[in-house]
Amino acid sequence: MNIDLHKEQQQNPMRCLFLAFFCSLLLVVLHQTASSDDQFDSLFYGHYYESVADRLYDSKEIPGNLLLALEYYKKASNYLSTNSEVEWKIGRCYWVLATKTVKEEDRLVYFKEGIRYGKLGVKNNPDSSNAHLWLSLIVGSSAMDQGVVRTLYNREMIKSGLETALRINPSNTNAYVGLAGWYFHVPKFLGGDREKAFQYINRAIRIEPDYTSARLVKAEFLLQENRHPEAIRTLKEILNIKKPAIRGDGVENVNNARKMLDQLKAEGFSG
């Protein structure tokens, strides 16, 4: 039985979830009846659960999919040990949960768990660009949530992690976005540089032109500098992207771009 979960997911998300559940049950039966090598068994199940979690995370805009992705990533972590990409993916899920919740107590728990798994990701796979990236992003978001003092206290650790991510993978778009945010928000006398911030965010857009999140961050930078015509152009660019690099993020970013444009229009800005 050859099932393309990614294709099914795009065409029918609910059918994809049913297929994932069916395949999970099938694997349980096979696990109970098969007598294969334990190490091979662990790798097989680990990568299977990770693959299902990846599909669910890619469609996290569907209610419930993010929590299901987290559940499957944790299942995968029970089978995969060192050099795995699973821990930073778990940290990433907690980061998304933290940034979307309005309850402070939940946000603190999500950040705490995200940092814990982020550190595990770097420890178990120090050569992973994304492991360094997501630990830095989670620590940075958690620090900003706690206030300016905490953010400044952690600034060098955050910057170092993002730079390490780029050294390992010079095409890591999110690392450029993260460094852009670092240079934009850190005060100039502590190393901040808004010119560098725009250099980094523009580099991210050049590497991945259809990455809507990078353009949305750029628009936010421009608005904070009162460069409204440029911000409006950037927001309209998001609306013109037909196939976002990340489908789920693209849906959310397009909606946010429309809201921002409507707000700017209501304030008398046009472009």
| 36-61: pLDDT as tens digits | 556 657 788 888 999 999 999 988 88
Look at the block and give the residue holding tokens 């979690």: 53
Domain end: 80, 99, 131, which one? 80
Q: CB of 234 within 8 A of CB of 249?
A: no
Handedness of CA 11, 12, 15, 17 (dihedral sign): positive
Q: What distances in angstroms separate CA 81 from CA 40, 43, 46, one per listed residue?
A: 13, 9, 9
243 phi/psi in degrees, rounded to 5: -135, 85
Q: Average of pLDDT values for 5-29? A: 51
Residue 188 sits in a domain of what CATH number? 1.25.40.10
* pLDDT tens, position by position, 81-125: 767 899 999 999 999 999 999 899 999 999 999 999 999 999 999
Of 91, 171, 101, 98, the C-alpha closest to 136 is: 91
Judge contact between 164 and 132, C-beta under 8 A: yes
* Number of domain units in the chain: 3
Q: Which amino acid is at 200?
A: Y
- Separation CA 111–CA 133 (nearest Å): 15
Q: Which range of residues forms the domain containing residue 216?
A: 208-271
Same domain, 148 and 224: no
- Residue 61 has what pLDDT? 85
Which pTM value belongs to this model?
Answer: 0.82
> Which residues have C-beta within 8 Å of that of residue 75, sequence separation ≥ 6?
45, 49, 53
> Domain boundary residue among 59, 80, 101?
80
Q: What is the pLDDT of residues 72-89, one digit of tens each?
A: 999 999 988 767 899 999
pLDDT of residue 52: 95
Which residues have a Cβ under 8 Å from the Cβ of 61 and sit 6 or more positions away? 247, 248, 251, 252
Q: What is the pLDDT of residues 169-223, one digit of tens each?
A: 999 999 999 999 999 999 999 999 999 999 999 999 999 999 999 999 999 999 9
Could you tell me if 171 and 220 lie in one domain? no
Last residue of a domain, one of 166, 181, 204: 204
